[in-house]
A = this chain, B = another copy of it.
Amino acid sequence: MQPAVTERDLNQADVADAARYLAGRIVPTPMLGCPELDELAGTRLLLKAENLQHSGSYKMRGATVAVGRLAAAGQATGVVCQSTGNHAAAVAQAARRHGLAAVVVLPPDAAPAKVARAAAAGACVLRADGDPHEVVRQVHADTGYPVIDAYDHPDVVAGQGTAALELIEAAEAAGTPLDALVVPVGGGGGAAGAVLAATGRGIDVYGVEPYGCDSLARSLAAGHRVPVTPAATLADGLRPACVGALPFRVLRDSGIDAVGVGDDAIAHAFRLIVTHLKLVVEPSGAAALAGALRVAETSTHRTVGVLLTGGNVEADLVGRLMEGSAA
């Protein structure tokens, strides 16, 4: 693997480099689709099942690259990060693989399934009422552990981009190349990775945010990063208060469109994915399909890629979503 990139020169080659590193280290998740969803969307949908990834989400990609690089450098004895949950679980699992300690900082209302995954991988789990980044800085000051930010980290952005790259390449190999790609947006790391992966391929990229968690949409409109006070949403993974600085530098001039979705649309997409794809995704992953269905209504794309980013969801929420009582 090449040395760590700086923020300035992060580009498509870094995603390809991350993909080479990840080969054999992650699950080569399937690309799925079905006539029923195509008919509903009025266009071909190809969905990447990252809910089947190690640690239950595509965050395993960036964490594997970032932690692997640190471990190869041989100087760190542990790592620290903040996360709504999936990045924490992924960093914990990657750290354990390399014999490093992991401290993960989660919000008090993090999804129990994600907290449990991080704890099961041996991480020290801290719950932060206030600004999680402040807690991370304190842990870093106390321990010297490098910070693996959930989105403001070049290895994380490049690693997350490999999910989009695999989907783009699988669609090409199937003879149905993508002309659009829809990804959910929290801190923007996965979206930035997707934009890098899609560079120069004639693919329109869309970033999906829950209503009221639209820092990317507001930031794109303003031309600079705009924080929000995240509204309540089913999509617990898409609640960061602000798109990250590094992702925003990638996304700002990329032509990405922001798409808003509500809980009703997310719950509906969740049920479609269960019924037609036979997959269990978390609401943040279902948000991508909800956004894709909205995009399909108003565009003429022939083949739309959808990143189903994760599957860490509570059993009782699955029940409520299927019975229509969660949204």
This chain's copy number in the assembly: 2
Instruction: Check if B323 sits within 8 Å of A316, measured CB to CB.
Output: yes
In the complex, how many angstroms separate the beta carbon of A282 from the nearest chain B beta carbon?
9
Contacts of A277 in B (CB 8 A): 52
Instruction: Check if B311 sits within 8 Å of A322, measured CB to CB.
Output: no
Q: Is A56 an interface residue (CB 8 A)?
A: yes
- Which partner residue on chain B sits nearest A310 by CB separation? B278
Residues 284-321 of chain A: 1 if any B CB is under 8 Å from the residue's CB, otherwise 0? 00000000000000000000000000010001101111
Contact of A278 among B281, B316, B320 (CB under 8 A): B281
In the complex, how many angstroms separate the beta carbon of A323 from the nearest chain B beta carbon?
4
In the complex, how many angstroms separate the beta carbon of A52 from the nearest chain B beta carbon?
6
Contacts of A321 in B (CB 8 A): 319
Residues 27-62 of chain A: 1 if any B CB is under 8 Å from the residue's CB, otherwise 0? 101101000100000000000000110001000000
* Bound-complex Cα distance A104 to B29 (A): 34
Instruction: Check if B322 sits within 8 Å of A274, measured CB to CB.
Output: no
* Bound-complex Cα distance A319 to B326 (A): 11
Contact of A279 among B278, B315, B322, B323 (CB under 8 A): B278
* Bound-complex Cα distance A252 to B108 (A): 58
Interface size class on chain A is: 20 to 34
Most chain B Cβ neighbours within 10 Å, of A30, A56, A280, A321 = A280
Contacts of A30 in B (CB 8 A): 27, 29-30, 52
Q: Is A239 an interface residue (CB 8 A)?
A: no
Residues 268-279 of chain A: 1 if any B CB is under 8 Å from the residue's CB, otherwise 0? 000100110111
Instruction: Check if B322 sits within 8 Å of A56, measured CB to CB.
Output: no
* Bound-complex Cα distance A321 to B279 (A): 15
Contacts of A271 in B (CB 8 A): 315
* Bound-complex Cα distance A169 to B32 (A): 22
* Bound-complex Cα distance A56 to B277 (A): 8
Contacts of A56 in B (CB 8 A): 278
| Given A51-B278, A52-B279, A319-B322, 10 additional A-B pairs, CB 8 A | A52-B277, A113-B275, A271-B315, A279-B279, A315-B322, A318-B318, A318-B322, A319-B321, A319-B323, A320-B323
